Amino acid sequence: KEKNNYTLVIKLRVDSVIITLKELFKKLDYIKIESLIAGDTFKVLTYNLSIHKGRIFNLRLVREIKGKSTQPYEKSRLVFAGHLDEEKKEILTQSPTIQRMSQRLILAIGPSLMASYGMHCELRDITQAYVQSTDRLTRTLFARPLRELRESFPPRTIFRVVRPLYGVAESGLYWFKTYHNHHKDKLRMETSTYNLCLLITHEGIITFKIIGL
């Protein structure tokens, strides 16, 4: 898939559909790393054998083309290579998922709410979801700078992964907590008594909402 995306971006550049300057994806790679450091997802450290114990993982960039049917653009996603993370076997990594009965409830009452009250039904996908999590990791994880960008950092530089990142086993659970709390605290919704992933507006609020996470 990544090879296909790389081939496609070359074609789109030749056809002047994508006109981003610099080497393929290179500008996005720098922007991605800088934004994660600025957002406190990474802490930049100088490696010290006596201090930084344990495995040091690799990072990789997943590059793809988004908006293929409308306005194509390059996108880079930084991924923690956690497939060799042995600790993940000992911690809770699975976030809750919506029950089938809750999905059926939304599908059953949705058409009536739309027809009788003019309500809307929407399906949403969150951009850069995991890196928006507000909590810090309880584990200590270290990673090497990307091979393509190592010349941008001093020798012996490593990153401490401070906040959830794609590829870190428990990131989905952290993101669920952030997203769930947003609906409860900011949107004033409450959890169903039988399903943590089904939320409904509080009694007395004029605008009725029901959502499945």
166-207 per-position pLDDT tens digit: 888 888 888 888 888 888 888 888 998 888 899 988 776 667
What is the C-alpha to C-alpha distance for residues 31 and 207, in angstroms, rounded to an integer? 40
What is the C-alpha to C-alpha distance for residues 208 and 34, in angstroms, rounded to an integer? 41
The per-residue pLDDT for 188 is: 86
The per-residue pLDDT for 95 is: 77
What is the 3-class SS of 72-91, one letter each residue?
CEEEEEEEECHHHCHHHHHC
54-86 per-position pLDDT tens digit: 788 888 877 766 665 666 666 677 888 888 788
Total number of domains in the chain: 1
3-state helix, strand, coil in the chain (%, to 5): 35, 20, 45
Domain that holds residue 168: 1-212
> Is residue 39's pLDDT more than 80?
no
Q: Give the least confident one: 83-87, 116-120, 141-145.
A: 83-87
Average pLDDT, the chain: 78
